[in-house]
Amino acid sequence: MKVTPLTSPSNPLLKHIRGLQQRSFRDKSRQFLIEGPKVIAEALSAGIEIKDVVISQSYWQSGTIAHELNFNRLSLVEDKLFAELITTESSCGVLAVAHQPAENESSLFASSPALVVIAENIQDPGNLGTIIRTSLAAEASGIILTKGTVDPYNPKVVRSAAGALFKLPLITGLTIDESIKLVKNHQLQVLACCQGASQLYWDANLKLPTALVFGNEGQGFKAETRELCDGEIAIPMSAKSESLNVAMATGIILFAAVQQRRPENQS
């Protein structure tokens, strides 16, 4: 293994990494950052192509470098310089530059009956990460992130999705109208999940091929979006409670689908 110490903040690789903290540069280069040994190992095992790995001095000295990260080529930087490369916890000690995997629309519908999550205009990276992680756990077939939604390759999303980002089919760049059209073309029912809908989620038939639409944390959906959907479902809540977190709402409804689809319910 070759370890190259990088000492100048203006080193091209370090400049490239700092650039990847910005969405515009991630979109242009189709690369992204993965922070922490655990998520990097998940990426590798999912076949994500890693371009470069940078480790901090103290991580290197600790001797705990994970077997999975035994690359031919590592770059080593001082802790202070490393902290500038990282957007979550600088203590993680290891950072990878990776290529964004290609998107493939048909992969969204590969499992049957399909269960697709449409994340419309979700803003909080932690929420999106949790939605991705939970969608994988609930065996959703895939997730569509509409144009207004936070970038799934934002380092905070990558971290909070905890590896699920690399295993769940994912499409970006469509508007909400295009997203709904796409899933309808594949014969999915489209249900908008929103407070105040008259149908409760457990009364919907989630055994059917289904797309669940979850909206922005504060604003929910536009009326026009709701009209494009086949129906609306709500989670009933205590009158004392103002709202549920959108990631939590996603998990509750996805697992209601898991429950409805359990083997002993198939006939």
Which positions touch its own copies (CB under 8 A)? 126, 130, 133-134, 136-139, 162-164, 167, 200, 202, 235-238, 240-245, 247-248, 251-252, 255-256, 258-259, 262
Least separation in angstroms between residue 214's CB and its own copies is 14
> Which CB atom, from 54 or from 122, has the smaller least distance to its own copies?
122
Strands 210-214 and 189-193: parallel
Token duo for residue 75 = 């770059």
Q: How far is CA 152 from the centre of its chain?
A: 5
Query: Which is closer to its own copies, CB of 162 or CB of 208?
Result: 162
List the structure tokens of 151: 């970038």
CB of 46 to its own copies, least distance (A): 9
* Nearest distance in Å: CB 223, its own copies: 25
- Three-state secondary structure of 224-236: HHHHHCCEEEECC
Question: Taking the complex as a whole, how short is the minimal distance between the CB of residue 127 and its own copies, in angstroms?
Answer: 11
- List residues bridging with 193 in a β-sheet: 214, 233
Of 238 and 267, which CB lies nearer to its own copies in the complex structure?
A: 238
User: Do 195 and 166 contact (CB within 8 A), yes or no?
Assistant: no
Tracing tokens 């996805």 back to the chain, one arrives at 254
Query: Hey, is 104 helix, strand or coil?
Result: coil
Q: Which is nearer to its own copies, 20 or 164 (CB)?
A: 164
Which C-beta is closer to its own copies: that of 12 or that of 263?
Answer: 263
Question: Smallest gap, in angstroms, from Cβ of residue 247 to its own copies?
Answer: 7
Distance between CA 191 and CA 182 in Å, rounded? 14
Structure tokens at 238: 């205590």
175 or 245: CB nearest its own copies: 245
CB of 160 to its own copies, least distance (A): 9
| Smallest distance, its own copies to C-beta of residue 185, A | 26
- Residue 20 vs 155, nearer CB to its own copies: 155
CA distances from 26 to 30, 48, 156, 249 (A): 5, 15, 14, 29
Q: d(Cα 250, Cα 193) in Å, to the nearest integer? A: 8
Count of helices and strands (H, E) across the chain: 10, 12
How far apart (Å, rounded) are the C-alpha atoms in residues 120 and 226?
12
